[in-house]
Amino acid sequence: MLLLNNIHVFYGAIHALKGISFEVNKGEIVTLIGSNGAGKSTCLKTISGLLRPKEGALSFKDDDLTVVDAPQIVARGISHVPEGRRIFANMSVSENLDLGAYLRKDKEGIKEDREEIFTLFPRLKERRRQLAGTLSGGEQQMLAMGRALMSKPELLLLDEPSMGLAPILVKQIFEIIKEINSSGTTILLVEQNARMALSIANRAYVLETGKIVLSGNAQELMATEEVRKAYLGG
């Protein structure tokens, strides 16, 4: 479904991604794990069009994405929940959800999906008239995910959904990620919390300084010496 082949990305003179290749198949949860600065977020930004690869091929459902701008990539069915949530704090919860559906014209469908998101995240329903900036960290994460789902994506990119959240909330968020996946949305998940990520993923790729150093089945990776030492604390 999503295919990256030998992708190189630069930030000015910094070579952030040095020939990344991987794929995500329909219906999967794939996770990218790695330490800070390994290039995980850069990967997602490249897929969603915020960054342009200098070299390499990037395709989604056999369409070349390297020539498509970020707003059009949303239209093709990829939705990106960025690091730090980036919700519109000056707008209400329900306005945030409306913006998620910015490109959609089917009023009825939007209404239905909004209800669906409210059943997935009941807290958002309670707070739908509140300014998004007044939500707690966990609620903001839910809003960011709900907002992304409003575009009805086939592929959801999640960047560090557990960041800054209490363990109980992290668990809850990951349950919801599984639920989203089981209702048919393919997921590419970037996480520093490797244990959680590997526990729900089908497959995983390990990034180190802009390169993929390991890949494979999530359960198997979790068992390998390298991954346990480097990312699971022994």
Partner 1 sequence: MGSVTDFVIQQLINGISLGSIYALIALGYTMVYGIIQLINFAHGDIMMVGAYTGWFCTTVLKLAFLPSLMIAMVLSATLGMIIERIAYKPLRKASRLAALITAIGMSFFLEYGGILVLTPQTRTFPAVFPQTVYNPIGEITFKYGDIVIILTTVILMSLLQFTVKYTRVGKAMRAVSFDKEAASLMGINVNNTISVTFAIGSSLAAAAGVLIGVYFNTINPLMGIMPGLKAFVAAVLGGIGIIPGAMLGGLAMGLIESFVSGIGFSTWRDAAAFFILIIVLIVKPTGLLGKNIREKV
Q: How many residues touch partner 1 (CB under 8 A)? A: 27
Neighbours of 122 (CB within 10 A): 10
The sheet with strand 2-11 has its strands ordered as 14-24, 2-11, 55-60, 63-64
Residue 118: CB minimum distance to partner 1, A:
19
- Both tokens of residue 29? 């949860």
C-alpha 191/C-alpha 36 separation (Å) is 10
The residue from 89, 166, 213, 223 that contacts partner 1 (CB under 8 A) is 89
- Both tokens of residue 45? 């930004």
C-alpha 44/C-alpha 207 separation (Å) is 13
Bridge partners (DSSP) listed for residue 33: 191, 206
Phi, psi (deg, nearest 5) at residue 19? 80, 65
Between 50 and 120, whose beta carbon lies closer to partner 1?
A: 50
Interface with partner 1, residue 99, by CB under 8 A: yes
Between 10 and 88, whose beta carbon lies closer to partner 1?
A: 88
Residue 75: CB minimum distance to partner 1, A:
6
Interface with partner 1, residue 90, by CB under 8 A: yes
The residue from 41, 46, 48, 140 that contacts partner 1 (CB under 8 A) is 48
Between 132 and 170, whose beta carbon lies closer to partner 1?
A: 132
C-alpha 207/C-alpha 106 separation (Å) is 40
Residue 15: CB minimum distance to partner 1, A:
21
Report CA dihedral (56, 57, 58, 62) to the nearest 10 degrees.
180
Interface with partner 1, residue 67, by CB under 8 A: no
Interface with partner 1, residue 156, by CB under 8 A: no
Residues that bind partner 1 (CB under 8 A): 48-50, 69-72, 74-75, 79-80, 82, 86-91, 95, 98-100, 102-103, 147-148, 151
